[in-house]
Amino acid sequence: MHDIRQIRENPSAFDAALARRGLAPVAARILELDAARREKIAAAEAAQAERNAASRRVGAAKAAGDEAEFARLRELVAQKKDEIARLEDEARAFDERLRAMLMEIPNLPYDDVPDGTDENDNVEIRRWGTPRAFDFAPLEHYQIPAAAAGLDFETAARLSGSRFVMLRGAMARLHRALAQFMLDLHTRAHGLEETWTPVLVKDEAMLGTGQLPKFAEDSYRTENGWWLIPTAEVTLTNTVAGQILEPGALPRRLCAHTQCFRSEAGSAGRDTAGMLRQHQFEKVEMVSIVRPEDSRDELERMTRCAEAVLEALEIPYRTVVLCAGDMGFGARRTHDVEAWLPGQGKYREISSCSDCGDFQARRMNARFRREDGAKPEFVHTLNGSGLAVGRTLIAVAENGQQADGSIRLPEALRPYMGGAAVIRPDGALA
């Protein structure tokens, strides 16, 4: 959520930043609601002062035996009480309208975020590895015999419908191994604290990280009001909701492996083949809570944590900074890490790391103190995939595929696969 004071101080800059996201000006409407709210608050305070003054004179009129003045003052006190209640209700209504409007406005991009409208305007900042030269036509993951043996889309469709998969045998083990490998790398090498979180949350948690109210259709809600998390960003970031962190508590770096659920409401017809875009999937999520001056460096650190997973798994990748028009709702700057998928012949997103500034912290009221007794300040929050497990499985399968239909496993994964180096064309480990 945005700081209303900054909008008051420079409304044109606010509108200019939103224009970079392709949005129409809104500052004038925001300030109109803000002025109406403040007017009602000021009127309520003035009426309260008049009521207090009249209340003080009631006793004097009674003591002086001035019954007419006593009655007049009592009536005035009663009238002011009703007036104050009305003005406070009107101020509250304007405040709710203002808050609702601010809740639906995305974060503002940093000045150095490139301009642009979509993924075609994103800017590559580095790449690692050389895509392998195949002496055969590489297949997509679901076409590779070794993978196809363990990807059961038919049974999943009977159970749940489209965009679900059931993993069997070596594919199920590879999926589990990847999550364990990522957690071990992040906790041992990168210093993140492993966390296990619920996957069902209340409205307040989804509001805090920006999934509500604007993107309700993208998530699933149970009949009794819980939301299934679209990512552990929701639970990990909300661990500091409503808190004032004491000096020395930052940075806080967390990671969690969870199931994630997305309706994919806006992706009809996209990536329907295979398991690239699913309603239910797993991720190892990273979240950092830091001081404002540290968030830009933390974004680079988090991005490197994601990249390190791909390097260890021998998967070529490139990293891009998203243009202003392609960033997510809560981000001020986003780095996407894209793995090379030879079956598609292109780089595809496998991690998205975002610096949200104080945008989520204001929604959650998450603050910290620099020193004992200091005024609380809003923290900065960051989140990123470290990585999406299913997409990493796809990358391992496609980059490791062999001409005979088998899959060569990266060295780093073999201890997690019982020492196996290959998944045979029939789906067995060897």
Pick the catalytic residue from 391, 398, 406, 424: 391
Contacts with 41 (C-beta within 8 Å, 6 or more apart), sequence order: 87, 91
Pick the catalytic residue from 221, 349, 377, 414: 349
Check whether 12 is labelled as a binding-site residue. Answer: no
Check whether 124 is labelled as a binding-site residue. Answer: no
Check whether 162 is labelled as a binding-site residue. Answer: no
Report the run of H or E that residue 351 belongs to, with start and end: strand 346-355
Check whether 263 is labelled as a binding-site residue. Answer: yes
Task: Identify the DSSP state of 38.
Answer: H
Task: Identify the DSSP state of 401.
Answer: B
For residues 186 and 392, give the distance between their C-alpha atoms in angstroms, rounded to a whole number: 15
Are β-strands 193-195 and 252-261 bridged in parallel, bridged antiparallel, or unpaired? Answer: parallel
Check whether 392 is labelled as a binding-site residue. Answer: no
Structure tokens at 236: 């990990």
349 catalytic, yes or no? yes
Pick the catalytic residue from 163, 173, 262, 362: 262
Check whether 385 is labelled as a binding-site residue. Answer: yes
Pick the catalytic residue from 99, 277, 291, 318: 277
Measured in whole angstroms, the distance separating CA 277 from the mean position of its chain's CA atoms is 18
288 catalytic, yes or no? no
Map residue 284 onto helix, strand or coil. Answer: strand
Check whether 383 is labelled as a binding-site residue. Answer: yes
Structure tokens at 204: 């307040």
Q: Which residues pair with 351 in a beta bridge?
A: 337
CB atoms within 10 A of CB 129: 15
CA–CA distance from 94 to each of 71, 182, 212 (Å)?
35, 47, 20
Check whether 295 is labelled as a binding-site residue. Answer: no
Lay out the sheet containing 220-221: strands in order across. Answer: 200-201, 227-228, 220-221
For residues 320 and 126, give the distance between their C-alpha atoms in angstroms, rounded to a whole number: 7
352 catalytic, yes or no? yes
Q: Please, are residues 156 and 281 in contact by the beta-carbon 8 Å criterion?
A: no
Pick the catalytic residue from 219, 288, 352, 354: 352
262 catalytic, yes or no? yes
Check whether 55 is labelled as a binding-site residue. Answer: no
Binding positions: 231-233, 262-264, 285, 349-352, 383, 385
Binding positions for L-serine: 231-233, 262, 285, 383, 385
Binding positions for ATP: 262-264, 349-352
Active site members: 262, 277, 349, 352, 391
